[in-house]
A and B are shown apart, each in its own frame.
Chain A
């Protein structure tokens, strides 16, 4: 999510040094403190040695990335099978299973799919902004 941290000395004056109940819970819950140590991606047990078939567990992701990535991986002709799951709704993990033809590396395919997904996002953003700037649409006054 937002990994940027700001030292409190940077901003200068402190707002109010009150330790809130929420802070207390955030510090004491076992799950929340472990997040820093959890790797973003790990390979699940049972992957083949050449990684031509592997299941990747991605931390802090959901259907949002899972399904989009699954679609992009399936667009790769070298991918024999690709599927994703959210093993449990209250755990912030997804698992992506990738099986490759010709003993190719599924990790390489994953990286390629991520790159392609980035390009796709860029294309959508460009086209959308063109349309917004063209101004060729109905403008109406909405009361709120």
Chain B
């Protein structure tokens, strides 16, 4: 696998080299690096590698770090989700203070399709179009079924044996449909994604009674609105063996890399040490190999600058494979908003709205 050396970020024992992309017009004589959608489409490769119900790993090859980073940032901070924003406490005699409990409740991920509700603008009244209401009403009691005589056989009874409602869980958030919400969410059960999150522990006599309002928001306002647990990318590693690795050192060499990266082939009483291209992506590029003087000259470490391995974990109503699509949609919205503003500037003349720049006075 020969890779254009321009695409590589060199990894030396104490430094990285060729970090920046240089493919801009004017950088290389007689080379055109101006934007070309057709060329871009041809060189672009996007491939999903692994998908589960909660996470996805996909490769994007052929984009600049600024673009990859834009999508990563948007997935974290600008894709909208629904979370609990207002908590009305009518009673809370648990040991968790109102504000701490409210904060914990706010962080509970809800399984609500954000396209089904509108954003509540600041100062706007709560309606069935922009707010979902939940209720918590529970009180912890002694379990009447518990019998003290059972202590002889079981001297350490569990909380579950002793009490009723000893834990306030995310499953205790009960949706209260208002207005047309029942029809609108008929096919989407409105509830927390994970029913087993412990929000508070209770003891007999302690009670919690609250009304909660969930609204749509984005992660840059508060992390509870972030649809992802993690959204990261890393560059694809590239390891080239430049000098043959002697047979007796093969195992030691392989131990310098992540599992499966180095392939030792012992067929035909000859040993060849090579890099397994299928497992290469798993390498952490720890540079351990460069600490061994006997190997330092035998291997060249690098990463591929335009090969991004995205890893995204969804912690929201979005299925993980939907998150990049949502991020692209948000990016499109941002571009459109900026373009309209730029076109308005172009058509409306300069500085008309602001009066900050008076073009006739400029030199």
Contact A42 B354 (CB under 8 A): yes
With an 8 Å Cβ cutoff, the count of chain A residues facing the other chain is 78
| Total B residues in contact with A, Cβ cutoff 8 Å | 91
Question: Among the listed B26, B51, B64, B218, which residue makes an inter-chain contact with A139, where contact means beta carbons less than 8 Å apart?
Answer: B51
B185 within 8 Å of A (CB atoms): no
Closest to B362 in A: A49
- B350 — which chain A residues lie within 8 A by C-beta? 43, 47, 51
Known: A42-B353, A49-B359, A125-B325. A14 touches B127 (CB 8 A): yes
Bound together, the chains give a CA A89 to CA B300 distance in angstroms of 39
Residues of A within 8 A of B124 (CB): 5-6, 8
Selected from A11, A116, A127, the residue in CB contact (under 8 A) with B46 is A127
Asked whether, in the complex, the Cβ of A41 is within 8 Å of the Cβ of B66, the reply is no
Docked complex Cα distance between A64 and B343 (Å) = 21
Given A39-B354, A119-B37, A11:B47 Cβ within 8 A = no
Within 8 A of A (CB), among B325-363: 325, 328-329, 331-332, 334-343, 345-346, 350-351, 353-354, 356-357, 359-360, 362-363
The total of Cβ contacts below 8 Å across the A-B interface reads 245
The answer to whether A61 touches B338, judged by C-beta atoms less than 8 angstroms apart, is: yes
Cα-based distance from A22 to B131 in the complex (angstroms)? 15
In the bound assembly, the distance between CA atoms of A124 and B325 in angstroms comes to: 9
- The prevalent SS among residues of B at the interface is mixed
Write out the residue numbers on chain A whose beta carbons fall within 8 Å of the beta carbon of B353: 39, 42
Q: Contacts of B88 on A, CB cut-off 8 Å?
A: 16, 18
If the complex has contacts A16-B211, A39-B353, A137-B49, are A75 and B35 also in contact, measured as CB distance less than 8 A? yes
State the A residues within 8 Å of B (CB): 1-2, 4-6, 8, 10-18, 20, 22-23, 26-27, 32, 39-45, 47-49, 51, 58, 61-65, 67-72, 74-77, 107-108, 110-111, 114-125, 127-132, 136-142, 144
